[in-house]
Amino acid sequence: MSRIDGRTPEQLRQVTIERGWSKHAEGSVLVSFGDTKVFCTASVTEGVPRWRKGSGEGWVTAEYSMLPRATNTRGDRESVRGKIGGRTHEISRLIGRSLRAVIDYKALGENTIVLDCDVLQADGGTRTAAITGAYVALADAISWAQGKKLVRAGRQPLTGTVSAVSVGIVGGVPLLDLCYEEDVRAETDMNVVCTGDGRFVEVQGTAEAEPFAREELNSLLDLAVSGCDELAVLQRKALDTVLEK
Amino acid sequence: MSRIDGRTPEQLRQVTIERGWSKHAEGSVLVSFGDTKVFCTASVTEGVPRWRKGSGEGWVTAEYSMLPRATNTRGDRESVRGKIGGRTHEISRLIGRSLRAVIDYKALGENTIVLDCDVLQADGGTRTAAITGAYVALADAISWAQGKKLVRAGRQPLTGTVSAVSVGIVGGVPLLDLCYEEDVRAETDMNVVCTGDGRFVEVQGTAEAEPFAREELNSLLDLAVSGCDELAVLQRKALDTVLEK
Amino acid sequence: MSRIDGRTPEQLRQVTIERGWSKHAEGSVLVSFGDTKVFCTASVTEGVPRWRKGSGEGWVTAEYSMLPRATNTRGDRESVRGKIGGRTHEISRLIGRSLRAVIDYKALGENTIVLDCDVLQADGGTRTAAITGAYVALADAISWAQGKKLVRAGRQPLTGTVSAVSVGIVGGVPLLDLCYEEDVRAETDMNVVCTGDGRFVEVQGTAEAEPFAREELNSLLDLAVSGCDELAVLQRKALDTVLEK
Amino acid sequence: MSRIDGRTPEQLRQVTIERGWSKHAEGSVLVSFGDTKVFCTASVTEGVPRWRKGSGEGWVTAEYSMLPRATNTRGDRESVRGKIGGRTHEISRLIGRSLRAVIDYKALGENTIVLDCDVLQADGGTRTAAITGAYVALADAISWAQGKKLVRAGRQPLTGTVSAVSVGIVGGVPLLDLCYEEDVRAETDMNVVCTGDGRFVEVQGTAEAEPFAREELNSLLDLAVSGCDELAVLQRKALDTVLEK
Amino acid sequence: MSRIDGRTPEQLRQVTIERGWSKHAEGSVLVSFGDTKVFCTASVTEGVPRWRKGSGEGWVTAEYSMLPRATNTRGDRESVRGKIGGRTHEISRLIGRSLRAVIDYKALGENTIVLDCDVLQADGGTRTAAITGAYVALADAISWAQGKKLVRAGRQPLTGTVSAVSVGIVGGVPLLDLCYEEDVRAETDMNVVCTGDGRFVEVQGTAEAEPFAREELNSLLDLAVSGCDELAVLQRKALDTVLEK
Amino acid sequence: MSRIDGRTPEQLRQVTIERGWSKHAEGSVLVSFGDTKVFCTASVTEGVPRWRKGSGEGWVTAEYSMLPRATNTRGDRESVRGKIGGRTHEISRLIGRSLRAVIDYKALGENTIVLDCDVLQADGGTRTAAITGAYVALADAISWAQGKKLVRAGRQPLTGTVSAVSVGIVGGVPLLDLCYEEDVRAETDMNVVCTGDGRFVEVQGTAEAEPFAREELNSLLDLAVSGCDELAVLQRKALDTVLEK
């Protein structure tokens, strides 16, 4: 049985990771998972938020947002509504936590890195694309900071790599990397964030239509782990390219 | 090895579920998981939000909030700050999704039930206590609506029961129902929402210090499922009592 | 002629003042005036707001709020609406002024006490119940601060006691401590805050239906003063009990 | 003993009531109590707020505000801060209630009158000047509505007149109509709103420094009633003038 | 062909500039352009915003606002809506820029002057009246600051004078100083701010109905320059009067 | 004398206009003026805002925003601050007015087109690039609406073309299409919006350092008109290409 877009159940969409997409940001990536496109920038500033001053430790945080016409019908801007919605808050927090999982705060020193993930076009899986792309922008930003001697030599602030993918059960079949049309029809929907060594940073599974059984959970986790593995390879490849700025 | 409060790893705190705590609400519960106390009310109104009108289907939603001094140091009120924080949004959405998982919208008809979960005292696990208590308030509200003939006879709007518990790994040991002090020290923290038949509604695991391995995830899920089972028994017991209002 | 709930015109509802209702707050009380229940906490922090720094004087302030289903029909949360309503502002200010009337700022030293009064269930008189309960929470918080040596020995920050009650004219008859149903039907409504020695801290009378004459004002003041006296006795009794925490 | 500005204790400041100060508003007044100047407009619109539709009854409401430099040091604009402060809310509500006390809603019909009271210069007593001026603007607006046949003939929407004044105890002496400098030093401060027949619409007394005794309250009420009487005469005089527009 | 109000195309409305309209502000003016009346105050404070500290330079900024019933139909207050509209922002920024164009920041020293321009009555041209009036209030405030020695002697913070006027094409005819009725019917609308020596500070032309040609632009600029000249004479006259405060 | 980036004074930066950049929007363009990149989408919806219903006329409006790291140092998101800044408001209004200048509302019928202009990277001239790009997106959206028969045949809603460019005086020399570094050093800065037939839609000139003389204004206008002409050619070229979607 093949999927809407002809993929097999365990197949990712075409994933591209373009670095150096901004002339201003210390790290920047345009990541695509099929038609989902997220623009990720990493901004480095010296110093940390007030509550962390004097700790000798750095901080990493993230903000996620959708352009109003990233989706099929235009949504109101959160700036115009005057407040950030729950979904935006939730995803921003998820991205921040995921990337902090591979940061050694001491090695980063009292520097702050903000990851901005702006969805230019949405077709399902925007949060997992954002995490996967933001990791690459973060890695570039840290290299930049090391080049500028903002970060002390001898200790690597990045303790590993991190990537993320969505999985779900559609029509009883576990699928990897859902596009929007699949996502809408999924009975169960899960976002999984893994480190490069195959361990879990976040597991967020939600029953959309029907509660799910332990075996279903297990097969979804299997799919997700292998998807994250593939993404980790693509991240490494992207970072191995020499970036001319 | 015993825990801070003398429990074994797989032991819940003392859980109490007091119904009928409000003279106004259609369903109301004061739920305690040890020192965590959440006041849950279920409010029934005829009609549904605009986007659902004419569908013949009902709606269930939730709002979670903490009193400013529910915690050890006083927090600012979100009403005073003029906006709702990300954590509040995230938990409100989780509670809503969890309870909608056991609702048959058609059977509910065009009625709306709002679950308000206000934390009077916090000691870890407020979101899982809220879900567990809100289920009981919801059940009472539905009975009330059936009594008032707001809900048609012959089809039960509740398709099952739902309860929730937190689990985590502290000092390498998987523990059930973390209190605040354990939660702060946890390497991994997971909230699990189950139906009464042992299937999953939500699984949210987060690596706080270290990414977690598949086996750790598995043992946390085992603990959580058995904890939710126990809570389902307590919910049933609470609902079996005749409530004099 | 007896009242809706069988009371005589000059009779209070059953008033209970339960101390120690929070394990976190320095002072805490659940106060009930009949079915009106307000949870009051007093939070002590060292230091004062910026405009008072270096003055050697302390500060006391209050925040009042209603849980959304404290009333017969659910009200929107002010945090969700993104702003505090006029009624909430007005009552918070009243509670703050009332309690500051019995505070010696110099004796308090540069400490701040915030009184949070959250209405769990409303049946008229929530602001007067809040003041009456908050006084007891405040007294406990000051004792705590004295025990911790935050407040210098030798000078008592509390210069007196304070309690409050509502009075009103219903069907031409002056009544003490109106319940909601009476309040709605009152021609004139007055909230009076007195010190334990029978003097006035606040007098707020409002003609709801008809302007009121000087004699009516006088009889309402008589009722209120005697009601506050009774409440002062109950406050003292509550504070005389040894609280085991 | 004479006052800061040479008045006797029972003497009003110079009060002027200039009608027709706006070419747009249906009623408009510039009222001065000494250096306190408030610009009051009354705006009539057909129709009533949603919750009152179909009742056949009208509505009157008020909004009070201070220009940023109405005071000795500039205050931030509430529009810039993005929220209305408690004091503004409280005074707007007081003005609205005071004027509604002399309105027959049925006679007004389904029309709404909004009273805007903007303080151009403040020197104490802004809320009482606002009520006194707004009454005159309201009377003009109602005449206008009668002229336009928006209000049915035969029944007068105004059931009486209303005026307001502040009183207070300064240095032990009860004083009428406090200017700012007196207000700051007052031990007790009271705002009283009376109808033209000498009955009370609002009595709001606050102990600023010391609780006040019943006799003090009584002498303040005496002063206020006679002050309101004088203001009622000035209101009548202003309204008797033929206004050329 | 004469205009609605009988003026010739190149004629200003009657302009009055009354100084000393506030007893609190360091400079204050009530400016009228026909029925447009704007109350301008200039408030001096020592110190500058954070981003300018230590520069030795001062700052001048402006806030524009309309009273709710300045216009023919009442508008909602921006403080009530909780946000400032685009038009208000735009005009506040224009006024600030216009007045900063004649300020020598070094000569002003680290002092801040805020210009508040509150429209009491609107009949077209409120922003240009505001600029013209604010200049006079600013000049008075600077004199005050020089008198108080806040500003060092020997160097004049004002480098010139500034005035503003609106021009537009109505029915094909270029007109000076549009009143509201003309403004509504204008095909092209332009606001011009000039210094006393006839140079431009701001030129803002907008096609309302039809794009405009270069010759039209030229004749509008001619009109505006001569109008600003006249206003500069009136400003000088107003400032030459001895102000008794 | 050549410019920072080697251009002559009357030379545009490299301008590219890529259509079809979004799979969801009815019209979409990525426009670049050198390093300034703006993503413009045009969203068509049937119906118009409430105040225009039943008029038979359509509506066009615009929203401008900068991604947080579009600039050299990261700026806070307006959604996070909870309000839109004055600059954003001003530019959104300018874009909307500019495009409405070439719309025949009757021919558009009761449809609304929203133009979203999100700056991905800023290097001066973002508002003029946005207008130039938004015109092309608008033209595509209107073609789409014609294809869908939302717009009646026989009457073209677009009455002309519109483009915009910035000009300024830097070091005494009038320059076309300023990059950021030039913009910062400009003595005078002007944004000009022209129709394809060389008439003006908007002229906004601002003295940044020194008031400007009439001759300077004239030479800036000359430059701008010829720049807009060139841009009109590029727009036409972009629209002549067949877009494969």
What ranges make up the beta strands (E) of chain F? 15-19, 27-33, 36-46, 59-66, 111-121, 162-170, 173-176, 188-195, 200-207
pLDDT band at E176, cuts 50/70/90?
Answer: very high
Confidence of residue F245 (pLDDT cuts 50, 70, 90): low
pLDDT tens-digit series, residues E31-51: 999 999 999 999 999 999 999
Q: What is the pLDDT of residues D29-81, one digit of tens each?
A: 999 999 999 999 999 999 999 999 999 999 999 999 999 999 999 999 999 99
* Local structure of D84: helix, strand or coil: coil
The pLDDT of residue F241: 87
Query: What is the three-class DSSP state of F56?
Result: coil
Residue A132 has pLDDT above 80, yes or no: yes
**Mind listing the pLDDT tens digit for each residue in A30-72?**
999 999 999 999 999 999 999 999 999 999 999 999 999 999 9
B244 Cα to chain C: minimum distance (Å): 16
Q: Looking at the complex, report in whole angstroms how far the Cα of residue C166 sits from the nearest Cα belonging to chain B.
A: 22
Q: Could you report the per-residue pLDDT of B170-220, keeping only the tens digit for each?
A: 999 999 999 999 999 999 999 999 999 999 999 999 998 889 999 999 999
pLDDT of residue D245: 57
Chain A, chain B: beta-carbon pairs less than 8 Å apart: 91
Rg of chain A over Cα atoms, rounded to whole angstroms, equals 18
**What distance in Å separates residue A74's CA from the closest CA in chain F?**
7
According to the model, what pLDDT value does residue F2 have?
Answer: 81
Q: Is A84 close to B83, i.e. CB distance below 8 A?
A: yes
Q: How far apart are CA C40 and CA F181, in angstroms?
A: 59
What is the token pair recorded at B94?
């989780």
Is B22's CB within 8 Å of C121's CB? yes
Residue A245 has pLDDT above 90, yes or no: no
Q: Which tokens hold the place of F181?
A: 């570094």
Q: What is the mean pLDDT of residues E152-179?
A: 95
Residue C210 buriedness (CB in 10 A; 0-12 / 13-18 / 19+) = middle
Rounded Cα distance between C166 and E156, Å, is 63
pLDDT of residue F147: 94
- Residues of F within an 8 Å Cβ radius of E: 83-87, 89-90, 92-93, 97, 101, 160, 190, 194-195, 197, 199-207, 211-214, 217, 221, 225
Taking CB atoms and an 8 Å cutoff, what residues of chain F touch E93? 86-87, 90
Tell me whether residues A79 and F84 touch, CB distance under 8 A: yes
Instruction: Read off the pTM.
Output: 0.93
Are B79 and C74 within 8 A, CB to CB?
no
Closest chain C C-alpha to D87 CA, distance in angstroms: 8
Task: State how far the Cα of F240 lies from the Cα of F222, in Å rounded to an integer.
Answer: 28
Contact check, Cβ <8 Å, D82/E82: yes
CA F34 – CA C116 distance, rounded (Å): 57
pLDDT given at position D2: 81
CA distance A51 to F211: 47
What pLDDT is attached to residue D241?
A: 87
pLDDT at residue D1 tops 70: no
Q: Which residues contact F192 (CB under 8 A, 6 or more apart)?
A: F164, F165, F166, F167, F200, F202, F203, F204, F220, F221, F224, F225, F227, F228
**E195–F211 CB contact, under 8 Å:** yes
In Å, how far are B141, D31, E54, E76, F99 from F44, measured between CA atoms?
Answer: 43, 52, 51, 30, 15
* Contact residues on chain A for B160, CB-CB shorter than 8 A: 211
Residue percentage of chain A with pLDDT more than 90: 94
Query: Rounded mean pLDDT of chain E?
Result: 96
- pLDDT above 90: percentage of residues in chain D: 94
The reported pLDDT for the residue numbered C208 is 86
Q: What is the pLDDT of residue B1?
A: 61
Which residues in chain D are closer than 8 Å to E67, comparing Cβ atoms?
Answer: 39, 41, 116, 118
Give the relative orientation of helices D214-240 and C214-240 as an angle to the nearest 10 degrees.
Answer: 140
At C128, which amino acid appears? T
Task: List CB contacts (< 8 A) between F87 and chain E.
Answer: 93
Query: What is the DSSP secondary structure assignment for residue C149, as one 8-state letter?
Result: T
Across chain D, where does the E strand assignment appear? Answer: 15-19, 27-33, 36-46, 59-66, 111-121, 162-170, 173-176, 188-195, 200-207
Contact (CB, 8 A) for C19 and C243: yes
F206 is in an annotated binding site: no
Among candidate residues F10, F5, F57, the one with its CA nearest the CA of residue F35 = F5
What is the C-alpha to C-alpha distance for residues B102 and B114, in angstroms, rounded to an integer? Answer: 15
**pLDDT of F178:** 98
B125 is in an annotated binding site: yes
* C177 to C3, C121, C164, C181, E7: CA distances (angstroms): 11, 16, 10, 11, 68
Mean pLDDT lowest for which of C76-85, C180-189, F236-245? Answer: F236-245
Show Cβ contacts of residue D106 under 8 Å, excluding neighbours closer than 6 positions. D56, D57, D155
pLDDT digits (tens, 9 = 90+) for D102-143: 999 999 999 999 999 999 999 999 999 999 999 999 999 999
Closest residue to F79, CB basis, from A35, A72, A84: A84
Share the mean pLDDT of chain D. Answer: 95
- Measure in Å the smallest separation between the Cα of B213 and chain C Cα atoms: 36
Closest residue in F to A82 (Cα–Cα)? F82
Chains that touch A (3 or more CB pairs under 8 A): B, F
Give pLDDT, residue C209: 83
Q: Which of A18, A72, A76, A79 should one mutate to test binding to chain F, selecting the residue with the greatest count of F CBs within 10 A? A: A79
A199, B221: Cβ pair inside 8 Å?
A: no
Is residue D125 marked as binding? Answer: yes
The CA distance from E153 to the nearest CA of chain F, in Å, is: 24
pLDDT at C70 over 70: yes
Is B69 close to C22, i.e. CB distance below 8 A? yes
Query: For chain A, what is the mean pLDDT?
Result: 95
Count helices and strands in chain E by DSSP H and E runs: 6, 9
Does the annotation list F152 as a binding residue?
Answer: no
Sign of the alpha-carbon torsion through B244, C2, C4, C5: negative
| Cβ neighbour number for residue D214 with a 10 Å cutoff | 13
> To which residue do tokens 């373009």 refer?
A18
Å from E206 to nearest chain F CA? 5
Instruction: Kindly report the average pLDDT of chain B as a whole number.
Output: 95
With an 8 Å Cβ cutoff, the interface of chain A facing chain B consists of 83-87, 89-90, 92-93, 97, 101, 160, 190, 194-195, 197, 199-207, 211-214, 217, 221, 225
* Residues of chain B falling short of pLDDT 50: none
Cα-Cα-Cα-Cα torsion B86, B90, B91, B96, nearest 10 degrees, comes to 140
Is the pLDDT at C245 greater than 80, yes or no? no
Q: How many CB atoms lie within 10 A of CB C123?
A: 25
Q: What is the CA radius of gyration of chain B?
A: 18
Quote the strand ranges of F55-177, DSSP E. 59-66, 111-121, 162-170, 173-176
Contact across the interface for F121 and A23, Cβ inside 8 Å: yes
For residue A243, pLDDT over 80 is answered with no
- Mean pLDDT along residues F136-164: 95
C-chain CB neighbours of B67 within 8 Å are 39, 41, 116, 118
CA–CA distances in Å: residue C128 to residues C92, C95, C96, C182, D205: 11, 8, 12, 15, 16
User: Tell me, what's the pLDDT at E209?
Assistant: 83
H-helix or E-strand containing A43? strand A36-46
Strand partners, F190: F167, F205
